[in-house]
Amino acid sequence: MAYTKDDIITLPNPHLRQKSTRVGIITDKIRDIAQNMIDATLSWDASRDHEVGVALAAVQIDSLYRIIVVRNNYDDKEDKSFTVFINPEITKLEGDVLEDYEGCLSVPNIYGKVKRYSKVRVKSLGLDGKPFRVSAEGFLARIFQHEIDHTNGIVFIDHIKDDADAFYKLKQDGKLAKLDYDAVKKDPILWQ
């Protein structure tokens, strides 16, 4: 049975704060997890008018493995193809540190301004077990940093410190509305 958006865990699930395990051997179970991640992302994506599901870490479907999936063309919601990264690691952070909005399927309806490097280099294994490397910049670099953080038990809101203009909510019309910083920082669901 295909996974759906309802299989995506959200805060305060404690697994989101745990480190994921490296994949030793790529088995049918690992391939199934990757497909479940893609299915869940696409299900979430189909339920949203103003958002696109661009990536997911295995922990977000409650599988504590170092696996991420990244949409091949996140500018085209009709392109439903993804690349699977097994044991992804950032080998180099480069460029400027820029602040931009991030959201997360596991932190529903909250966006935040997060500082990230503008360029990254990533090494990984593919589903075929062969190593490969990727250089990314801009939004794609941000995606890799966000998803690899998930494999280390870090959620994007953990990067936000003492910034009154940091948290936002997506309104029905697709625009962001500022949230009260103190109220968000005191929300027990987000900070357990």
Q: What is the DSSP letter of 31?
A: H
Selecting among 78, 99, 102, 147, the annotated active-site residue is 147
Residue 116 CB-half CA count within 13 A: 27
| Coil vs helix vs strand at 58 | helix
Is residue 147 annotated as a catalytic residue, yes or no? Answer: yes
Distance (Å, rounded) from C-alpha 177 to C-alpha 26? Answer: 43
Residue with tokens 């090494």: 123
Q: Pairing between strand 167-170 and 107-125?
A: antiparallel
Q: Which residues are designated catalytic?
A: 147
